């Protein structure tokens, strides 16, 4: 009976470890917290809830058409600043018209900033 218990515990511990449920010595990084509107306004004076909503909508509707939406913290500020204009060209070309203007690019950037993107490294 005792050997069954030992065997069971060995199998259970191997299963848990192989599934990644027990990760010894590995620190998980927390997702960046979304900033408050006041935090974002400090960086972008005049930022409004209307611009936030426009940025969120443009990001979700247009960027989600061709691929999954990336979390704001998945790229640095400088990477987002270069990626958004490049991708808006693709969106506009695919649509055959301007769906995302320069102001729209700015709104998307500021929306992602408010969601806690990584600062320039």
pLDDT value of residue 119: 67
pLDDT of residue 13: 60
Angular region, 2: left φ>0, alpha ψ -120 to 50, beta rest: alpha
In the prediction, which pLDDT does 32 show? Answer: 64
Using 50 as the pLDDT threshold, list the residues of the chain that sit under it.
22
- Cβ–Cβ < 8 Å for 32, 116: yes
pLDDT at 101: 96
**So what's the pLDDT on residue 44?**
93
């Amino acid at each position: 009976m005792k050997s069954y218990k030992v065997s069971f515990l060995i199998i259970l511990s191997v299963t848990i470890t192989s599934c990644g449920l027990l990760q010894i010595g590995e620190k998980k990084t927390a997702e960046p917290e979304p900033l408050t509107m006041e935090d974002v306004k400090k960086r972008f004076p005049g930022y409004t809830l209307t611009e936030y909503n426009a940025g969120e909508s443009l990001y979700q509707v247009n960027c989600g058409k061709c691929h999954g939406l990336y979390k704001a913290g998945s790229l640095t500020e400088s990477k987002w600043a270069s990626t958004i204009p490049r991708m808006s060209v693709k969106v506009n070309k695919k649509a055959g018209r301007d769906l995302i203007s320069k102001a729209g690019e700015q709104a998307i950037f500021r929306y992602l900033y408010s969601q806690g993107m990584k600062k320039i490294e």
